[in-house]
Chain A
Amino acid sequence: MEQKLVALSGNEAVAYAFKQARPHVAAAFPITPQTEMMHKYADFVANGESSTEMILVESEHSAMSAAIGSAAAGARTFTATSSAGFALMWEVVYIAASLRLPICMALVNRALSGNINIHCDHSDSMGGRDAGWIHLFSENAQESYDNAIMAWRIAEHMDVRLPVMVNYDGFIISHTADALYMLPDDAAWKFIGKYNPAYTLLNPEKPITVGPLDLTDYYFEHKTSQLAAYEKAPAIIQQVSDEFAELTGRRYGFAEEYRLDDADLVMVLLGSSAGTCKDVIDQYREKGVKVGLLKLRTFRPFPAAYLAKVLGGRKAVCVLDRSASFGGQGGPLFMETRSAMYGLQVPVHGYIYGLGGRDFDLRQAATVIENLQKVAAGGELKDINLLGVRL
């Protein structure tokens, strides 16, 4: 497949990807750093390049609520937000998943208040990790674009029928011009295809009731059927990713394994920091240190069995969280990863880094690798460590 090499910001790349899915409806409210993504989309509509109907709501709560109404009516629907906007949606984020509505959302990751901060961390996405969405993470504009194309196929697959959020780091990805390959419109459309809703509010000959009161006698069964979808989702994510690889040559799974085959030491993380780590891993590899990276793409559903398989037999593993779980046992990624590694007898420790957009630099990545070496040699390290902060 011939693809066009373009220079776009992450926001622009995702706007293009969503446009290529020909959504019927978009509902959104502006928040930094998501704004440019919706500006770009509004331009498409204003210039007749997209026939999407936009609902320019008065809040993110209404954005998700309108998206729910639209998706329940059988329309292909997306929204986009960041940080506090996602937090304001929180109640209805659950409802979108519980009603099994395949809404796609660009979540341009930004720190939660307070204090108010507009820069990147993953606390917004992590705040919604139990809400029932599929969480895809991206390292750069290319992955943001690719995830935003694949998201529709995953969300709308009949074995899944769940909303999907495409996470990409605020400013670091959203506002940085990056080179990426884009599919021609017709090829993207051929890949994504037309949406066939299973149910719609808009058929008066076949009325449905959506969102009834559901009490002790049925609610649990409904949650059980929802839980089953997360069991089926991984196979669909892989299947869609494999088809995408055939089309584009870009291969995705639950994670990217970077120099991992023979690695004794493994870093686990999400998002754009992977690029920095890869550079530093290369430097240490030249020195003969067997270190590699596992960059997760799917945080929900969490690929626990896959992680256990990949991380078993290593000498030391560390997990880098770009969010804190206050009062918890480290960041969310650390907790999930350590739990997945239960019984492996591999030492694992965690870091919290980059909160509120604090730069994750080469030195921090080097510190992480050196600490991995110490632990592998039998040294002691706290379970949870902070990186790049003044103490």
Chain B
Amino acid sequence: MAVNLKQLTQNEDLLTGGHRACAGCTGANILRQIMLTAGRDTVMGGATGCMEVITTIFPYTAWKTSFIHSAFENCAATISGVETAFRSLKKHGELPVQREKMNFIAFGGDGGTYDIGLQSLSGAMERGHNMLYVCYDNEAYMNTGIQRSSATPLGAHTSTAPAGSVKQGKEQNRKDLTKILVAHNIPYVAQTTPYHWKDLAMKVEKALAVDGPAFLNILMPCTVGWHFDPAIGMELAKEAVENNFWPLFEVENGVYTINHKPKDPAPVVEWMKKQGRFKHLFKPGNEHLLEASQATVDREWRKLLKLEASTQE
């Protein structure tokens, strides 16, 4: 699917300005880009988290489409209910306005998706609802004060796994949620970032076009939680792709396609240096953690190449 920039710029902005995101937040940008592609005939559902909080403080709403939030761990289940209601009301000829199709999009952070909402997400995907789930992965529970999540990478400082005199931040690797979703055998799963707007728009378009569930995992550099200059969020998103930390790929009916293969991937430490959450890893004695971070990125990239080769056969 070809994404037409001219068309995108003419589409209606369905997330208003004036919401309460932090300066330099890339999450609001993700939502705005999704909405530019999805359009008005869309119901959005948000898990409790930054993006829900910044868009809906009563009596204000930043949403120009219908939006529902109910709790932290149940966004996928909630939107699955909305989608089922649509199908049932359509079948009974009782829709408030006639629509052949509407988009149902649930979104949550890594807390609401990788962790507390994983069961609800897994259930909704398995049931085959015609819905898109978007995870904006900022790699920790930012909304509650930067606590570690199962998406937090090795060594990152968080408020519940801090760097101290004995401990050096998170002691475990992050979970590969995207592949867990691939294992659900749903029609469409992909990873992207807000920097890669064309890639993101194309993936949203594909995800909404498939018949059945789709999942997008979108890396969301967080100025507050990652500790970087608010001006460079998009650069960090770009670099995470160029160093293979966050590859752009999509899985269509089980077939992997890597959308961008960096010719000469930069060392992941160059990216880590720009983020305060990894600052302690550059102290003498922590070299092994930097090496482990690079080794993990390299290993996962090799696995991804093999998956692409084997599934495209």
Contact = CB atoms under 8 A, between A and B. Distances in A.
A207 B89 contact: no
Interface stretch (A52-60, A118-126, A153-161): A52-60
B84 interface: yes
Given A68-B78, A207-B63, A92 B71 contact: yes
Contact of A202 (B66, B91, B123): B66
Contact of B127 (A25, A56, A59, A207): A56
A204 B56 contact: no
A211 B81 CA distance: 15
Interface string B27-69: 0000000000000111101000000110011111101111111
Interface size class of A (residues with CB under 8 A): 35 or more
A27 interface: yes
B92 A213 contact: no
Contacts of A310: none
B297 to A, nearest CB: 33
A202 B95 contact: yes
A228 interface: no
A92 to B, nearest CB: 6
B56 A70 contact: no
A52 B92 CA distance: 10
A76 to B, nearest CB: 9
B284 interface: no
Contacts of B68: 69, 72, 201, 209-211
B106 to A, nearest CB: 9
A55 B80 contact: yes
Contacts of B66: 201-204, 207-210
B186 interface: no
Contacts of B94: 24
Given A24-B89, A61-B77, A74 B96 contact: yes
Interface string B143-171: 00000000000000000000000000000
Interface string A9-35: 000000000000000110100000000
B86 interface: yes
A73 B85 contact: yes
Nearest to A57: B123
Given A65-B70, A69-B70, A55 B84 contact: yes
A77 B69 contact: no
Contact of A65 (B42, B52, B65, B78): B78
12 contacts: A24-B88, A24-B92, A27-B84, A55-B84, A58-B123, A61-B120, A201-B68, A202-B89, A204-B66, A211-B68, A212-B69, A213-B57
Given A74-B96, A203-B97, 19 more contacts: A24-B89, A25-B88, A51-B88, A51-B92, A55-B80, A56-B127, A58-B122, A62-B123, A66-B81, A68-B70, A69-B78, A69-B81, A75-B88, A92-B70, A201-B82, A202-B85, A202-B97, A209-B68, A212-B69
Interface of A: 24-25, 27, 51-53, 55-59, 61-63, 65-75, 77, 91-92, 95, 99, 200-215, 218, 222
Interface of B: 40-43, 45, 52-53, 56-61, 63-71, 73-74, 77-89, 91-92, 94-97, 99, 102, 119-120, 122-124, 126-127
Q: Rank and list the top 6 A-B pairs by shortest CB-CB distance, nearest first.
A: A69-B81, A58-B123, A66-B81, A73-B85, A65-B74, A212-B56
